[in-house]
Amino acid sequence: MSDVRVIIQRDSEREERVVTTGTTAAELFAGERSIIAARVNGELKDLSYEVQDGETVEGVEISSEDGLNILRHSTAHVMAQAVQELFPEAKLGIGPPVRDGFYYDFDVEKPFTPEDLKAIEKKMQEIQKRGQRFSRRVVTDEAAREELADEPYKLELIGLKGSASHDDGADVEVGAGELTIYDNIDPKTGEVAWKDLCRGPHLPTTRNIPAFKLMRNAAAYWRGSEKNPMLQRIYGTAWPSKEELKAHLEFLAEAEKRDHRKLGGELDLFSIPEQIGSGLAVFHPKGGIIRRVMEDYSRRRHEEEGYEFVYTPHATKGKLFETSGHLDWYADGMYPPMQLDDGVDYYLKPMNCPMHNLIFDARGRSYRELPLRLFEFGTVYRYEKSGVVHGLTRARGFTQDDAHIYCTREQMSEELDKTLTFVLNLLRDYGLTDFYLELSTKDPEKFVGSDEAWEEATETLRQVAEKQGLPLVPDPGGAAFYGPKISVQTKDAIGRTWQMSTIQLDFNLPERFDLEYTGPDGSKQRPVMIHRALFGSIERFFAVLLEHYAGAFPAWLAPVQAIGIPIGDAHVDYLEKFAAAARKQGLRVEVDSSSDRMQKKIRNAQKQKVPFMVIAGDEDMANGAVSFRYRDGSQENGIPVDEAIAKIAKVVEERAQV
């Protein structure tokens, strides 16, 4: 046997090792149980891969991002095998790993029941204990079609070789290179227990799956298209240890308690009536109060920052979106046109920027007017697919706190700096404090403008971001075709990351709309255009805050800031006078004068997450005082009425949490 020289990469250390021909990656990392795959010259491989001379090999740990994807993809295979052992008529769709888990789509006669999921999970545990080996083999297109003749969806995927999409999960099955099938080999008999079309890589055996659980099932269109058959999708999760699985399930339980859709109903904040349509919310009075407070505070802060307020209509002639390019690039995300005025197409607007450009262009502009900052609470409509619509966070109609800044190239850096500082401070005012920034840069295959302009703009954004002293994460190739952007990512109270604000440079629209201003020398010049939305949308930000606070908003946002709870009927009028005095100070105070007993009134106030419960009895009335009960059950007694009102007002003014 001849020798093979390989380099083993461990973080920044490189070890050269001489091994014999036929040595596998598994042998290179023998004894390192956390390594479940290998990266060879940058490409992921099974541990059964035989290393070649000159290759650089790096172990992939199960807890790494790649390792988790491999673990979850392998678990998806085990689930699919279990389904076909229990339901032999089931046809296989696609089974990719996704964030925190995996899914697999099946064509079956009727939806899976909760009892079915329990049976499938039990069967998976049996397969896991068998220690079946994942074995890769290369097949020709013809051989794959012959082997998988009874799997119509796999046959379709074979035809996609070289053009499979990541968006619908097809690229986990077929890619641009050779076709491969993974066999699950029974260790006792050596026979193939099950097989699937797949690119891999996979775990060495099913015993390498430490912990998993099936979560739910749902209907899903084949490859995400509503034109395709409806399949049944089973979701699951898998983790490197039972402890991590337990922690994840506890996290999900907490997230479910905070689900804005659930809280929106419980707290009577909003609803999405079926009679109106998917993704189109109505805000109830209490939700309307929160939204108005959010908008009023944002409006005031924008005035302080020098923004000018504009208003634009909800619909426009299609010609405007031809000019902007939305009909070329974004037509699938728009509502279909309405034909009016002798066949003229009108569209609900998906974005506000084209109309703001018309305001800029309504008259001649001088450099002395720049920067011009146009702001609007603009309601837009986007026809999201039904499968991705999700409460207020992914809606079809929503209102953006949308602004467009027109400035000179010399003003660009300062405007970006001011805007990012404004964004972060505004989010902090709402109680979000844990941020990082993401810089999306040019896709070399899809961009407009010169390389020089992109480089200048990207470097300016980078410098502006770095000045904030926050972590900056690169997003290579993630920019839209018309310019680089900074995204503000924030973590909520339970550690989930949300993309909030975006600051986007645009080289495209000023050209398309032929926007100009007169420079100091009298020449016509093109303005720099900056898009920015601080909340993203009012609805989405509302949902994020609702989940962040689990409905227990700080007093300045709470729809009811204090509620009077009389110990008996004799104390109702006293608390009504307290409430009237508090309302004169601009506070939102109610009195529970219902026939319920005091303890039930307290429970009701706790369920409604009211910041201050103002309790009064005989002693309080005699002393001109009240008692406070807080959401955590603590109490403060004998507070003089004027002092109590002043304390609530101070908490509201300081935007403090109680």
Task: Name every residue whose Cβ is closer than 8 Å to that of residue 93 and which is 6 or more positions away in sequence.
Answer: 104, 105, 106, 107, 153, 222, 231, 233
Q: Does the annotation mark 404 as catalytic?
A: yes
Single-letter amino acid code for the residue at 563: I
Instruction: Find residue 591's DSSP bridge partners.
Output: 564
137 C-beta neighbours (distance < 10 Å), count: 11
401 C-beta neighbours (distance < 10 Å), count: 23
What single string gives the DSSP state of each residue in 460-514? Answer: HHHHHHHHTTS-EEEETT-SBTTB-EEEEEEE-TTS-EEEEEEEEEESSHHHHTT
User: In whole angstroms, what is the distance from residue 132 CA to residue 35 CA?
Assistant: 18
Q: What is the DSSP letter of 526?
A: P
What single string gives the DSSP state of each residue in 534-591? Answer: SSS-HHHHHHHHHHHTTT---TTT-SSSEEEEESSGGGHHHHHHHHHHHHHTT--EEE
User: In whole angstroms, what is the distance from residue 218 CA to residue 97 CA?
Assistant: 16
Query: Which of 202, 404, 442, 548 is labelled catalytic?
Result: 404
User: In whole angstroms, what is the distance from residue 498 CA to residue 608 CA?
Assistant: 26
Residue 536: what are its φ and ψ, rounded to 5°?
85, -70
- Pair 293, 556: CB distance under 8 Å: yes
Nearest CA-CA partner of 426 in 500, 529, 352, 530: 500
Q: Does the annotation mark 400 as catalytic?
A: yes
Q: Does the annotation mark 506 as catalytic?
A: no
Query: Which of 402, 492, 506, 592 is labelled catalytic?
Result: 402
Burial 456-478 (b: 16+ CB within 10 A, else e): ebbebbbebbeebebeeeeeeee
Q: Does the annotation mark 353 as catalytic?
A: yes
Helix/strand/coil for 217: strand
Q: Does the annotation mark 284 as catalytic?
A: no
What single string gives the DSSP state of each residue in 87-109? Answer: -TTPEE----EETTEEEEEEE-S
What single string gives the DSSP state of each residue in 14-75? Answer: EEEEEEETT-BHHHHTTT-TTEEEEEETTEEE-TTPBP-TT-EEEEEETTSHHHHHHHHHHH
Query: Which of 81, 132, 232, 400 is labelled catalytic?
Result: 400
- Rounded to a whole number, what is the largest CA-CA distance in the chain? 100
- Pair 346, 337: CB distance under 8 Å: yes
Radius of gyration of the chain (CA): 30
Q: Which two tokens stand for residue 2?
A: 């001849």
User: In whole angstroms, what is the distance from residue 396 CA to residue 537 CA?
Assistant: 11
Residue 128 burial class via C-beta count within 10 angstroms: exposed 0-12, middle 13-18, buried 19 and up: buried
Helix/strand/coil for 647: helix
Q: How far apart are the first and last CA of the chain?
A: 74
Torsion of CA 536, 538, 542, 545, to 10 degrees: 40
User: In whole angstroms, what is the distance from residue 250 CA to residue 242 CA?
Assistant: 12
Query: Which of 349, 382, 540, 588 is labelled catalytic?
Result: 382
Helix/strand/coil for 518: strand
Single-letter amino acid code for the residue at 78: V
Contacts from 316-321 at CB under 8 Å and sequence distance 24+? Answer: 316/346, 316/347, 316/349, 316/354, 316/355, 317/344, 317/345, 317/346, 317/347, 318/344, 318/345, 318/346, 318/347, 320/354, 320/355, 320/358, 321/347, 321/354
- Pair 611, 555: CB distance under 8 Å: yes
Q: Does the annotation mark 292 as catalytic?
A: no
Q: Does the annotation mark 585 as catalytic?
A: no
Query: Which of 45, 154, 531, 532 is labelled catalytic?
Result: 531
641 C-beta neighbours (distance < 10 Å), count: 19
Residues acting as catalytic residues: 353, 382, 400, 402, 404, 485, 531
